[in-house]
Amino acid sequence: MNTPFPQPNFYGTGALMAANVSVRVGKGNEKEWFPLSPRVRTHCTKLGNLPHGSTIRGTPARAFKALIAHRDGDSNFNHLSIGEEKVLRMTEVWILAGQLNLFSVQNELLSVYRDHYIQKRKLGKPIRVPAAPFDYVRKLYDAGTELRIPDFLLNWYAGLHGRDLGHRLKNSDLRSTDRHDILATAERNRYYGKDPLVHSFNRFKVSLERGDSVNPTSLKIEHPPQQQDVMQMQMQHQQQPQQIQ
């Protein structure tokens, strides 16, 4: 749902915009406004260059919220630790970080989830194997593209189910190709007696200079009207609430 255009802060009576900048993010009609703190803008060049009132399309608002929270100090990505969708949300944030050239964030995110993985293995509690994370990757990359994130997903699910894996996959909504790849990954890991997420984690990290071998589709960014028009919109908004379509 669209929300009203937020009022920017100004220094004194001048027309200079204050350090805080807000942008609108989301897909379709589900967009939210997010303030970008000076810290966030400093640690992400692409976001730092956005003027107040810009719109970022093509990424879930929840992924953007988690990413800027991380840049603002949420080092453990606590905004992602919610329910059974946490792996999908991790995938969304990993791809968004690549779109913003935040390659170190991609590696930090997978490191945090590696720790979650090790904890879950110790508990031995089975989890669902949803299709959503794999389907989300397909939306943004060409078929057959070799990437770190699907490799991470395959090993994540292959390692958390042990001998019960085949039975649980039959009851999932996975595509047959994903089901086959998870089973093949589990069989390979058992054959070599090593879990890549534990013993060779560096293979999942991207280059800090270039990112992954193939980067995702660029974000769609719409810049706001000229600053004078933005100020006029604020005055109109003060007199009569309105929404940007």
In whole angstroms, what is the distance from residue 138 CA to residue 135 CA? Answer: 5
SS3 113: helix
Angstrom distance (rounded) from CA 219 to CA 113: 25
pTM, 2 dp: 0.82
pLDDT tens-place string over residues 9-67: 433 322 223 456 999 998 777 789 999 999 999 999 999 999 999 999 989 999 999 99
Report pLDDT for 233: 57
Q: Where are the domains of the chain?
A: 1-58+219-245, 83-217
Torsion of CA 64, 67, 69, 74, to 10 degrees: 160
- Structure confidence at residue 232 (pLDDT): 55
β-pairing, 21-27 vs 55-57, is parallel
**β-bridge partners, 206:** none
Query: How far apart, in whole angstroms, are the C-alpha atoms of residue 21 and residue 183?
Result: 47
Residues of the chain whose pLDDT is less than 50? 1-3, 5, 7-18, 228, 231, 244-245
CB within 8 Å of 105: residues ≥ 6 apart: 67, 70, 71, 93, 97
Residue 107, pLDDT score: 97
d(CA 53, CA 50) in angstroms, rounded, equals 8
